[in-house]
Amino acid sequence: MGAPAGIDWAWAQNTGGNLTGAQRRQLTGVMLAMMPGLVIDALRARTGYRGSARLELADARLPDTKLVREAEREARAVLSPTLLEHSYRTYWFARVLAGVDGADYDDELAYVSCLLHDVALEHPTPGCCFAVTGARRAIALAVAVGETPQRAQELGAAVAGHMTFGVSTDLSDPAGFVAAGTSLDMLGIRLSQIDPVWVRELLGLHPRMGFKQAAIAAIRAEAAAVPGGRTAWLASWGIELLIAGSAFSE
């Protein structure tokens, strides 16, 4: 499926992430096409069905580069504890789902994108999508530590693109990697595929800390600040109710 054509990094830079009416209709078409699968997945999760996907957290290795260390410092400095833990869970959930899908991904880029995807969410910029503002900050950080312009742009595209509905179907795309992890942690999408014992282990390491309430408050503020953005479009489809009703307990 993937994201609709034209709703990409170039579009985000030119528009600040504000959708035209035609683009809203494009996203609605993607949503309607994906809806049967999402409903089935949600029913499985709500009825307690769980899969076996997992990874051994004790043995898992994180990338360790200058870019990673600076992204970790930035995330800890900027994000609230609740959003910081969400960022870590986003990475680990996406990593398990990438294993399920057999997706080949760039681990450094995936991890840094997960750490930085919400750096602007708690402080909305009127008229500019938080994911675009965050992408620009991520690019500046990457350039400051000596990354190539191309690498910095790849990071920006991942952060900006994670909010586009449909991108989560391809976890080899860094934006899709972030989107898949975020969709699981926020909405419970694909939770039915994950080993529940492993989920409890992850939540012990990275607790939710009232994440549902924090996410709903942030979405309301972002939608008010950027009424033409993707967050406002998702809000119009009732994302707050989906967050509140996800299979995670708080």
Position 165 scores a pLDDT of 94
Question: Are residues 89 and 214 in contact, defined by beta-carbon separation less than 8 angstroms?
Answer: no
Spell out the alpha helix ranges (H) of 47-187: 66-78, 81-101, 107-116, 130-144, 149-161, 174-187
Q: Is residue 124 part of a domain?
A: yes
Q: Is residue 223 part of a domain?
A: yes
Those residues of the chain that have pLDDT short of 70 are 1
Q: Is residue 250 part of a domain?
A: no
How many angstroms separate the most distant Cα atoms in the chain? 49
Position 10 scores a pLDDT of 97
CA distance 187 to 111: 20
Position 4 scores a pLDDT of 84
Q: Which two tokens stand for residue 159?
A: 């952060």
Q: Is residue 167 part of a domain?
A: yes
Residue 183 lies in domain: 9-244
**Which tens digit of pLDDT belongs to each residue from 74-119?**
999 999 999 999 999 999 999 999 999 999 999 999 999 999 999 9
Number of structural domains, the chain? 1
Position 41 scores a pLDDT of 85
**pTM check: above 0.85:** yes
> Per-residue b/e over 109-122, b at no fewer than 16 CB within 10 Å?
bbbbbbbbbbbbbb
Position 249 scores a pLDDT of 86
Position 1 scores a pLDDT of 59
Q: Is residue 3 part of a domain?
A: no
Tokens 């014992």 belong to which residue?
Answer: 197
Position 185 scores a pLDDT of 97
Q: Is residue 249 part of a domain?
A: no
Q: Is residue 2 part of a domain?
A: no
Position 23 scores a pLDDT of 97
Question: Are residues 169 and 21 in contact, defined by beta-carbon separation less than 8 angstroms?
Answer: no
Q: Is residue 58 part of a domain?
A: yes
86 alpha carbon, distance to own chain's centre: 9
